[in-house]
Structure 1
Amino acid sequence: MKATAFAGVFAVAAAIGGASLAEDGDTLSQVQERDRLNCGVNTGLVGFAAPDANGNWSGFDVAFCKAVAAAVLGDPSKVDYHPTDGETRFEMLADGSVDLLARNTTFTFSFDTGRDFDFVGVNYYDGQSFMVPKSLGITSAKDLDGASICVQSGTTTELNLKDYFEANMMEYQPVRLTSNAEGEQEYMSGACDAYTSDMSGLASTRAAFATPGDHVILPEIISKEPLGPVVRHGDNNWADIVRWTLYALIAAEEYGVTSANIEELSKNAQNPEVQRLLGANGDLGEMLGLDNEWAKRAIAASGNYGEIFAATIGDQTPIGLVRGLNAQWTQGGLMYAMPFR
């Protein structure tokens, strides 16, 4: 689920013309002209982005795609979801196949300073961990010396794994994979002793097992994995739209704007920040090339950040994730929206 640290990705992106597309094109106009948002998501991670038997996508990442579509197209259903793996996602973003990547890439120095891609924020703070069969009796990552470990290739997951074992003077045998689906299959077949990925991804994978209780996620978090939306470098207005859509969802939770009360607050809110957020006052939409109710539509699509979290991956879902670092800044977390003024 993380950004590759391999410099070759940048060369590939440049070769296929991603930079020129961003410089010569206006992503907002392209999206509005086709009347669809092309959103790059995971190949299938329950709770985050996964299709049902009828091909209908749902999850935390899907909700963000819907929010952006609602903001710019007025309809959260006008999204085409494009599964991307650790290697294809960057090519697809660079060549214009997708308009944005939704939370399947780690915000790292290499990508933020690379000429082809820009992160517009963080919508999930994560960290890498390990999952093992409970039957092995392993309770710590320090017990994995000599183990075979399933890991997605071309990712920072792979590099973090190498660093962790070197730092702890342990040996391991990597079993390299191309996708989470392959990782799940290999892990369940016994091809590796442990599976390493983002902790949230491991929780999602475990929740899909027939007997989730037979598998343990070890307590060690071996990396920082700030995950967030990514757009092509060079189209500043589109980056602003995606960035402030994310902030709108976060701010809505902070100010108590929900899918249930948004209509009432858009008419009667006394807080000037909420008035500006919902378009009842000011001209923030005009600054983005949108109307003033863009953020109101984004929030109404699936609810505020907290509503989306609770409905898709929260502690009352099979994924069972607590807010932790992803709680609002007022509640001890890191979620913080810039002011709407």
Structure 2
Amino acid sequence: MKRFLPITVFVLLFFFGASFSFAFVRDEVVERGHLLCGVSTGIPGFSNVNGSGNWSGIDVDICRAVAAAVLNDASKVEYVPLLPKERATALLAGKIDILSRNYAWNLTRDSSLNLNFAAITFFDLQGFLVAERIKAESILELKDFSVCLQYGTTYEENLAEYLQESELKYKAIVSDTPDQIIKDFEAGRCEVITGGRAQLQGIRSKMKQPAETYFLPEVIAAVPLGPAVRQGDDFWFDIVKWTVFAMINAEELQITSSNVDSMVAARSSKAVQRFLGQTGIGGKGLGLADGWAYQIIRQVGNYGESFERNLGESSPLKLKRGLNNLWNKGGILYAPPLQ
């Protein structure tokens, strides 16, 4: 009988620990009645606020989707604008529940900051936006130049590594916000801006004379972006992770905000039924209602819908899907199935 005691104790501790973790962020969000979402101070296409105080962007949609899954209401989100130097600190201090602000996933951040990246929501590439007046076809043609970039990002390090074997000289003009970068660039304090190409497209869209700029062909680094949460709460980590996966899966299953209700009524394929919580594990493993994924798509839409309205042809940025297209449409985007 004694040999079973350690196993029994282990099982009890496991379930006690699970219940303890379960009471962390998810229950705080439910009790508070809204989600605290850390976003940028304003990057069109990702997280940007209009004159009426309404936020939009693909990063904003991730938070709306989490709120839909947990609270059944995508509008129950409070957005907290953060500078790059503030974002990790705000998350770790518990001032926000999720950081969703074009945050690049790398080893240092993942392993030493006590946070977890839930998923990749956008595959970006670092490049260069330059003033029309410089007439260059490559960054390597510039002998001495000034480059604007945002403080607290990996862009300066990537640039230094890319140019380390060249004889080029440059001066970094570092700013806290994209808006300050625009001011510095338009004032002639720099000829080049470096950053993720999608982010640069957002910056370009806010300039007075965007047509007087162009992109150089170089791509110098991969910039995988995605939401992050604090370590130590695996249930919350799973909720955020599977929220992103649900949006990707829905696009692959061709479930959209406009047809999801008809699919519920039709009881479609087994895969669709699992997605909608009509069969399979539903929301039990996440501590959510069985219709959690249905609520995400009904209120926010699938990944493709979010991309299109925020970054794609229906948006001011008019970006091509590229790497961010589904795996079966020429991109590299896919997610584990809701199975």
TM-score, normalisation: structure 1 = 0.90
Contact 1:202 1:217 in 2 (8 A): no
Contact 2:99 2:229 in 1 (8 A): yes
* Post-superposition offset of 1:326: 0.2
* Post-superposition offset of 1:145: 2.9
- Secondary structure of 1:252's partner? helix
- Across the aligned residues of Structure 1 and Structure 2, the Cα RMSD in angstroms comes to 1.6
Q: CA separation in 2, counterparts of 1:142 and 1:315?
A: 32
* Post-superposition offset of 1:37: 0.3
* Post-superposition offset of 1:114: 2.3
- Secondary structure of 1:151's partner? strand
What is the aligned counterpart of 1:297 among 295, 299, 314? 295
* Post-superposition offset of 1:264: 0.9
Contact 2:147 2:193 in 1 (8 A): yes
- Secondary structure of 2:45's partner? coil
Contact 2:46 2:58 in 1 (8 A): yes
Amino acid at match of 2:155: T
Name whichever of 44-53 and 27-36 sits farther off. Answer: 44-53
* Post-superposition offset of 1:25: 6.2
Name whichever of 312-321 and 66-75 sits farther off. Answer: 312-321
**How many residue pairs get matched?**
320
What is the aligned counterpart of 1:242 among 240, 243, 248? 240
Matches within 5 A, 1:277-288: 277-288=275-286
What is the aligned counterpart of 2:83 among 65, 85, 104? 85
State the partner residue of 2:125. Answer: 127
Contact 1:112 1:119 in 2 (8 A): yes
Residues 1:114 and 2:107 aligned together: no
State the partner residue of 1:104. Answer: 102
TM-score, normalisation: structure 2 = 0.91
* Post-superposition offset of 1:316: 3.6
Q: CA separation in 2, counterparts of 1:158 and 1:256?
A: 40
Distance change (3 Å), C-alpha of 1:206 and 1:115? closer
- Secondary structure of 2:102's partner? coil
Between structure 1 and structure 2, the one with the greater Rg is: 2
State the partner residue of 1:49. Answer: 47
Report the identity percentage: 38
Q: CA separation in 1, counterparts of 2:267 and 2:23?
A: 38
Residues 1:138 and 2:136 aligned together: yes
Q: CA separation in 1, counterparts of 2:205 and 2:310?
A: 12
Contact 2:282 2:291 in 1 (8 A): no
- Secondary structure of 1:167's partner? coil
What is the aligned counterpart of 2:231 among 226, 230, 233? 233
Structure 1 residues not aligned, in runs of 5+: 1-21
What is the aligned counterpart of 1:214 among 205, 212, 222? 212
State the partner residue of 1:204. Answer: 202
- Secondary structure of 2:283's partner? helix
- Secondary structure of 2:84's partner? coil
Distance change (3 Å), C-alpha of 1:204 and 1:280? same
* Post-superposition offset of 1:273: 1.5
Matches within 5 A, 1:1-341: 26-114=24-112, 116-341=114-339
Greater than 4 Å deviation, 4+ residue runs:
22-25
Q: CA separation in 2, counterparts of 1:217 and 1:115?
A: 33
